[in-house]
Structure 1
Amino acid sequence: MTIRQRLNKQSICILMLILLMMIVTACKSDSENVEQGINDLEADSEQLNPSEEEEGPFIPEGKVQSPFNGKWIPKEAANKRPIALQINNSLAAYPQSGIAQADILYETLAEGNITRLMAVFHVYDSEKIGPIRSARHYFLDMAANHDAVYMHYGGSPQAYSYIQQTKAPNLDGLSWLDGIVCWRDPERRAIPRMLEHSVYTNQKHLEDGWERRELRKELKENFSSGLEFVKEGEEIIPWGQRADYVTVPFSASYTSSFDFDAETKKYVKYQSGNYHLDEEINEPLMFTNLILQRTKIHLIPGDTEGRREVAVIGSGTGYFISSGRAVAIEWQKSNHGTATEYIEKKSGKPIQLNPGKTYIGILPQNLEVSFQKKAINQ
Structure 2
Amino acid sequence: MDGQKTVRHSLWPRLTGWLKRHRERIYFGIALVVIIGAGLGVLDYLKAGADYPPPTNSLSVAPKKKEPPKFYSPLTGELVPNEAATKRQVTAIMIENSTSARPQSGLKAAGVVFEAIAEGGITRFVALYQNSRPGLIGPVRSVRPYFVEWLAPFDSAVAHIGGSKRALDMVRGGTFKDIDQFFNAQAYWRATDRYAPHNVYTSFDKLDALNAAKGYVSSSFSGFPRKPDKPSPQPTATKIQMDISSGLYNVSYLYNPSDNNYLRFQGGQPHLDREAGQLAPKVAIAIKVPMSLGFEDGWREQINTIGSGQAYVFQDGTVTEGTWRKTGVKDQIQFLDPAGKAIQLNAGQTWITAVPNNKTVSWQ
Bin for the TM-score computed over the shorter chain:
0.7 to 0.9
- C-alpha change, 1:165 and 1:358, in structure 2 (3 Å) is same
- Is 2:193 the partner of 1:187? yes
| In 2: Cα distance, 1:115 partner to 1:259 partner | 20
Aligned counterpart for 2:309 among listed residues 313, 316, 340? 316
**How much does 1:186 deviate?**
2.2
**How much does 1:296 deviate?**
1.1
Corresponding residue SS for 1:86: strand
**How much does 1:84 deviate?**
0.7
**How much does 1:185 deviate?**
0.9
The one-letter code matched in structure 1 to 2:333 is T
The one-letter code matched in structure 2 to 1:262 is P
**How much does 1:285 deviate?**
0.4
- Is 2:228 the partner of 1:228? no
| In 2: Cα distance, 1:160 partner to 1:107 partner | 19
The question of whether the paired residues in 2 share the 8 Å contact of 1:290 and 1:321 is answered with: yes
| In 2: Cα distance, 1:290 partner to 1:237 partner | 16
Q: Deviations over 1:28-64 (max 9, x none)?
A: xxxxxxxxxxxxxxxxxxxxxxxxx9xxxxx984541
The question of whether the paired residues in 1 share the 8 Å contact of 2:106 and 2:136 is answered with: yes
Aligned counterpart for 2:95 among listed residues 87, 93, 116? 87
Task: Report what 1:66 is aligned to.
Answer: 73
Matches within 5 A, 1:243-258: 243-252=237-246, 253-258=248-253
**How much does 1:270 deviate?**
0.5
Task: Report what 1:120 is aligned to.
Answer: 128
**How much does 1:184 deviate?**
1.0
- C-alpha change, 1:209 and 1:108, in structure 2 (3 Å) is same
- Is 2:361 the partner of 1:369? yes
Q: Deviations over 1:64-90 (max 9, x none)?
A: 121121111112201112111000111
Corresponding residue SS for 1:159: helix
Corresponding residue SS for 1:110: strand
Is 256-265 or 160-169 further displaced after alignment? 160-169
Q: Deviations over 1:90-131 (max 9, x none)?
A: 111111111100011110011101000111111112111101
* Structure 1, gaps ≥5 residues long: 1-52, 54-58, 189-193, 373-378
Q: Deviations over 1:286-314 (max 9, x none)?
A: 0111111111111114764x421111122
| In 1: Cα distance, 2:295 partner to 2:126 partner | 25
After superposition, the CA RMSD in angstroms is 2.3
Task: Report what 2:285 is aligned to.
Answer: 291
- C-alpha change, 1:342 and 1:238, in structure 2 (3 Å) is farther
The question of whether the paired residues in 1 share the 8 Å contact of 2:322 and 2:336 is answered with: yes
| In 2: Cα distance, 1:258 partner to 1:61 partner | 38
| In 1: Cα distance, 2:345 partner to 2:92 partner | 20
Corresponding residue SS for 1:342: strand
Is 109-118 or 313-322 further displaced after alignment? 313-322
Task: Report what 2:204 is aligned to.
Answer: 203
* Structure 2, gaps ≥5 residues long: 1-63
Q: Deviations over 1:225-266 (max 9, x none)?
A: 2x1111x4x527599x92101111111231111100111111
Matches within 5 A, 1:327-366: 327-345=320-338, 347-366=339-358
Task: Report what 1:261 is aligned to.
Answer: 256
- Is 2:180 the partner of 1:172? yes
The question of whether the paired residues in 1 share the 8 Å contact of 2:243 and 2:355 is answered with: no
Q: Looking at CA atoms only, which structure, 1 or 2, has the larger radius of gyration?
A: 2
Q: Percent identity?
A: 30
The question of whether the paired residues in 2 share the 8 Å contact of 1:90 and 1:114 is answered with: yes
Corresponding residue SS for 1:242: coil
Corresponding residue SS for 2:187: coil
| In 2: Cα distance, 1:78 partner to 1:297 partner | 35
Corresponding residue SS for 2:124: strand
- C-alpha change, 1:279 and 1:202, in structure 2 (3 Å) is same
| In 2: Cα distance, 1:124 partner to 1:302 partner | 35
Q: TM-score, normalised by structure 1?
A: 0.75
Corresponding residue SS for 1:204: helix
The question of whether the paired residues in 2 share the 8 Å contact of 1:258 and 1:267 is answered with: yes
The one-letter code matched in structure 2 to 1:71 is E
The question of whether the paired residues in 2 share the 8 Å contact of 1:269 and 1:286 is answered with: yes
The one-letter code matched in structure 2 to 1:269 is R
Aligned counterpart for 1:275 among listed residues 270, 273, 280? 270
The one-letter code matched in structure 2 to 1:315 is S
Q: Deviations over 1:166-191 (max 9, x none)?
A: 6221110122x11x221111222xxx
- C-alpha change, 1:60 and 1:135, in structure 2 (3 Å) is farther
